[in-house]
Chain A
Amino acid sequence: RKEVEQDPGPFNVPEGATVAFNCTYSNSASQSFFWYRQDCRKEPKLLMSVYSSGNEDGRFTAQLNRASQYISLLIRDSKLSDSATYLCVVNEGGYQKVTFGIGTKLQVIP
């Protein structure tokens, strides 16, 4: 079983739509969770950390379900500039590696 699983997409959505991505992780001892955004041939950039209580940043909402071992990202009112690959990232504790999912590609169309 892959450590961090994501649907690679692509998700093609019209501007203004709401889109949700899920990610599952295999290690129940994982402690830190993040969503990163990666534009084509660029570095991953932090979108938001994901906390147990859920958190929101503008149009973006992240949720963590430890019991089911999944993380979600909701994007409301999609913009053309949201087109990118969204990477689910999990850390198993401490200051060690993080494990990336394959990423979910989002294409927002006019």
Chain B
Amino acid sequence: EPEVTQTPSHQVTQMGQEVILRCVPISNHLYFYWYRQILGQKVEFLVSFYNNEISEKSEIFDDQFSVERPDGSNFTLKIRSTKLEDSAMYFCASSGWGQREGPNLNTGTQYFGPGTRLTVL
């Protein structure tokens, strides 16, 4: 069964350093996402990406964050200057085409990678 993969599984960095989190979405998917989950809190949306551009981003996704699809398989999240509060689990997700249910277009189901635990010291 195809799956989303993420590397590294755990990243420890010093405050102010740049980190790049990597994801390989499911191969025939077209829509890619990053979420984060601070310990004990809910999963929060960061950004969605389609057709080589950002389609939506949250308030969390400020100028410190960027995403890129450098080749046909990888999808990366870069944090330019990490802060203590960036410590969290970062999940990548991807989805394919949705399905119609009556007049509604249901989004393709999002499948999540195992996450990268980012610890900022």
Q: Interface code A36-66, partner B: CB below 8 Å = 1, 0 otherwise?
A: 0010011111100101100000000000000
Counting chain A CB atoms within 10 Å of each CB, the highest count among B42, B98, B112 belongs to: B42
Q: Which one of B48, B102, B109 lies within 8 Å of A96 (CB-CB)?
A: B48
Across the A-B interface, give the 3 residue pairs with the lowest CB-CB distance, nearest first.
Answer: A97-B45, A43-B112, A32-B106
Say whether chain B's binding surface is mostly helix, strand, loop, or mixed.
strand
Chain B residues in 8 Å Cβ range of A52: 101-102
Q: Which one of B31, B42, B95, B115 lies within 8 Å of A43 (CB-CB)?
A: B115
Chain B: residues with Cβ within 8 Å of the partner, total of: 32
Chain A residues in 8 Å Cβ range of B104: 31-32, 93
Chain A residues in 8 Å Cβ range of B31: 95
Q: Interface code B95-121, partner A: CB below 8 Å = 1, 0 otherwise?
A: 100100110111111111111010000
| Residue pair A43, B56 in contact (C-beta under 8 Å) | no
Task: Say which size band chain A's interface belongs to.
Answer: 20 to 34
A82 nearest CB across to chain B (Å):
19
Question: CA of A63 to CA of B102 in the docked complex: distance in angstroms?
Answer: 17
Say whether chain A's binding surface is mostly helix, strand, loop, or mixed.
loop
Q: Interface code A63-100, partner B: CB below 8 Å = 1, 0 otherwise?
A: 00000000000000000000000010001011111111
| Residue pair B107, A45 in contact (C-beta under 8 Å) | no
| Residue pair A101, B42 in contact (C-beta under 8 Å) | yes
Q: List B35-53 residues whose CB lies under 8 Å from chain A.
A: 35, 41-45, 48, 50
Chain A residues in 8 Å Cβ range of B44: 100
Is B74 part of the contact surface with A, judged by Cβ < 8 Å?
no
Q: Interface code A16-33, partner B: CB below 8 Å = 1, 0 otherwise?
A: 000000000000000110
